[in-house]
C-alpha cells in the first residue's frame, strides 16, 4: 500500500497543525491567558499522525495527558479545541474538560486522560465493542513511557490478548516520565513486554512519519482481520517540558536544540517527500502558511469567546437524574 498525494498532504497538514497549535498554546500559556495545566505534543507529531492516518471515525483512540496532538491527528476540530483549552463555553467539551480531558467521541477520540495509564482498559472496551458489533473497527491506546509501568497497561495487554481484541498499544516513549528518565524507570524493553504476552511488537523511530505509518499499517491490518492486538514502541522527542512551566533542568542543555535541528519530524518529512519528488516544497509552504493563519485565527477567537455561565455548572453530570 502506498500513500497517495492526498494522503501525504493530509498527513503533513495534520503534523503542521499540531506543531502550530502547540506553539500557540505555549505562547499563550506563557502569557498567562490559558488556565490550568497543559502538556504539549510538539516534537512528537509524526507518531500520532502516522498511526491515525490509518483510522476512521469508527475507530477509537484513547490518549494521555499530552493529548492535543492525538486529537488533531484524529481530526478533531482545531477551533473547538482551542476554545476548550481556553475554557470557553463553545469549546469542544463546553469548557468542562480542558486540556487534560479533551475528547470528541463522534470522532472516535475517547479523551486525553488525566490519569496516567487510564486509557488502555478503555480501549480494550472500545475494541470489544468493535468485535462484538463486528463493525470492523479498531481501537488504539496511546501511552507514554511513564504509563507503560502502570498495572492497567499490563492488564490491558493481557486482556486484549486473551480476548483477541482489535486493539493497538502505542507506547510513545519521549524519554521522560515527567522528569524521570525512562532509562531509570522502565525495566526490560517495551517490545519484550509485548512479546511476553505473545503480542506482536515493534520499535520504531517515532520522528519518522513513514516508519510509524508502516508499523501502524501492519498493526491496524492485523486488528481489522481478527489477528488481535499489537504493540508499537514509538521513540519520540519532547520539545517542551512535562508541563508548561517546567524548567527542564533535568535535561541536557542542548538536547531540545539538537532535536529541533536534526530530528524534527516535520523537517524529516519535508526532506523525504521533496527529495523523492512526491510533493513540491511550494505545496508544503502553502500548508505552513494556511495552518499558521488558521491557528492564529483560532487563538483570537478563543480569547474573544464567551465563558461558560453558572447555568452550565450543573449540566451534563447525568443523562437523567
Partner 1 sequence: MAKKSYRQAISEALSQEMERDPTIVIMGEDIAGGAGAEGEQDAWGGPLGVTKGLYTKFGPDRVLDTPITESGFIGAAVGAAASGLRPVAELMFVDFMGVCFDQIFNQAAKFKYMFGGKAKTPVVIRTMYGAGFRAASQHSQCLYNVFTHIPGLKVALPSNPYEAKGLLIQAIRDDDPVIFFEHKAMYDMEGEVPDETYAIPFGQANVTREGDDATIIAFGRMVNFANTVADKLSKDGITCTVVDPRTTSPLDTETILETAAETGRVVVVDEAHPRCNMATDVSALICQEAFDKLKAPIKMVTAPHAPVPFSAALEDLYIPSMDKIEAAVRSVTGKSH
Can you give the binding site for partner 1, defined by CB under 8 A?
60, 62, 84, 91-97, 101, 103-106, 110-111, 113-115, 118, 120-126, 128-130, 132-133, 139, 151-152, 155-156, 158-159, 162-163, 315-321
Reported as half-sphere exposure (CB side, CA atoms, 13 A), residue 139 has a value of 30
Minimum gap (Å) between residue 51 Cβ and partner 1: 18
- Residue closer to partner 1 by CB (options 167, 236) is 167
How long is the chain? 321
Return the closest-CA partner of residue 235 out of 207, 202, 263, 214: 207
Minimum gap (Å) between residue 140 Cβ and partner 1: 12
Are 40 and 234 in contact by the 8 Å Cβ rule? The answer is no
Return the bridge partners of 169, or none. Answer: 141, 231
Q: What are the cell numbers at 144?
A: 507514554
- Residue closer to partner 1 by CB (options 114, 136) is 114
Are 36 and 93 in contact by the 8 Å Cβ rule? The answer is no
SS3 at position 203: strand
Minimum gap (Å) between residue 200 Cβ and partner 1: 20
- Residue closer to partner 1 by CB (options 57, 178) is 57
Minimum gap (Å) between residue 35 Cβ and partner 1: 15
Helix axes 265-275, 5-30, angle to 10 degrees: 160
- Residue closer to partner 1 by CB (options 54, 107) is 107
Minimum gap (Å) between residue 158 Cβ and partner 1: 6
Question: What are the start-end ranges of the E strands in 36-121?
Answer: 60-62
- Residue closer to partner 1 by CB (options 124, 284) is 124
- As a dihedral over the C-alpha atoms of residue 181, residue 206, residue 280, residue 260, rounded to 10 degrees, the angle is 10
Q: What are the cell numbers at 72?
A: 488533531
**How many whole angstroms separate alpha carbon 48 and alpha carbon 40?**
13
**How many whole angstroms separate alpha carbon 263 and alpha carbon 101?**
29
Q: What are the cell numbers at 149?
A: 509501568
Minimum gap (Å) between residue 134 Cβ and partner 1: 9
- Residue closer to partner 1 by CB (options 90, 246) is 90
Minimum gap (Å) between residue 203 Cβ and partner 1: 24
- Residue closer to partner 1 by CB (options 12, 197) is 197
Three-state SS string over 22-39 comes to HHHHHHHHHCCCCCCCCC
Return the closest-CA partner of residue 102 out of 14, 19, 22, 16: 22
- Residue closer to partner 1 by CB (options 60, 213) is 60
User: Residue 176 CB: number of other CB atoms within 10 A?
Assistant: 22
Minimum gap (Å) between residue 15 Cβ and partner 1: 25
Amino acid at each position: 500500500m502506498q500513500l497517495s498525494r492526498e494522503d501525504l498532504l493530509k498527513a503533513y497538514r495534520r503534523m503542521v497543525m499540531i506543531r502550530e497549535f502547540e506553539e500557540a498554546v505555549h505562547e499563550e500559556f506563557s502569557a498567562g491567558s490559558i488556565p490550568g495545566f497543559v502538556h504539549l505534543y510538539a516534537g512528537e507529531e509524526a507518531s500520532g499522525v502516522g498511526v491515525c492516518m490509518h483510522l476512521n471515525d469508527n475507530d477509537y483512540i484513547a490518549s494521555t495527558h499530552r493529548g492535543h496532538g492525538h486529537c488533531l491527528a484524529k481530526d478533531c476540530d482545531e477551533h473547538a479545541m482551542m476554545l476548550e483549552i481556553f475554557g470557553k463555553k463553545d469549546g469542544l467539551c463546553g469548557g468542562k474538560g480542558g486540556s487534560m480531558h479533551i475528547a470528541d467521541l463522534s470522532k472516535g477520540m475517547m479523551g486525553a486522560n488525566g490519569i496516567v495509564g487510564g486509557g488502555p482498559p478503555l480501549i480494550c472496551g472500545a475494541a470489544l465493542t468493535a468485535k462484538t458489533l463486528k463493525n470492523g473497527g479498531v481501537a488504539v491506546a496511546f501511552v507514554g513511557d511513564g504509563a507503560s509501568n502502570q498495572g492497567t497497561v499490563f492488564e490491558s495487554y493481557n486482556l486484549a490478548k486473551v480476548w483477541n481484541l482489535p486493539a493497538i498499544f502505542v507506547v510513545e516513549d519521549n524519554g521522560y516520565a515527567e522528569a524521570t528518565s525512562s532509562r531509570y524507570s522502565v525495566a526490560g524493553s517495551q517490545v519484550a513486554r509485548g512479546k511476553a504476552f505473545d503480542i506482536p511488537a515493534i520499535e520504531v523511530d517515532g520522528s519518522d512519519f513513514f516508519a510509524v505509518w508502516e508499523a501502524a499499517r501492519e498493526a491496524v491490518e492485523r486488528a481489522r482481520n481478527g489477528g488481535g492486538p499489537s504493540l508499537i514502541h514509538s521513540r519520540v522527542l519532547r520539545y517542551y517540558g512535562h508541563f508548561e512551566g517546567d524548567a527542564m533542568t533535568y535535561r541536557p542543555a542542548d538536547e531540545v536544540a539538537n532535536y529541533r535541528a536534526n530530528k524534527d519530524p516535520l523537517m524529516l518529512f519535508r526532506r523525504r517527500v521533496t527529495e523523492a519528488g512526491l510533493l513540491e516544497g511550494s505545496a508544503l509552504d502553502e500548508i505552513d502558511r494556511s495552518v499558521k493563519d488558521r491557528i492564529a485565527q483560532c487563538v483570537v477567537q478563543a480569547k474573544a469567546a464567551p465563558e461558560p455561565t453558572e447555568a452550565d455548572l450543573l449540566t451534563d453530570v447525568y443523562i437523567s437524574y
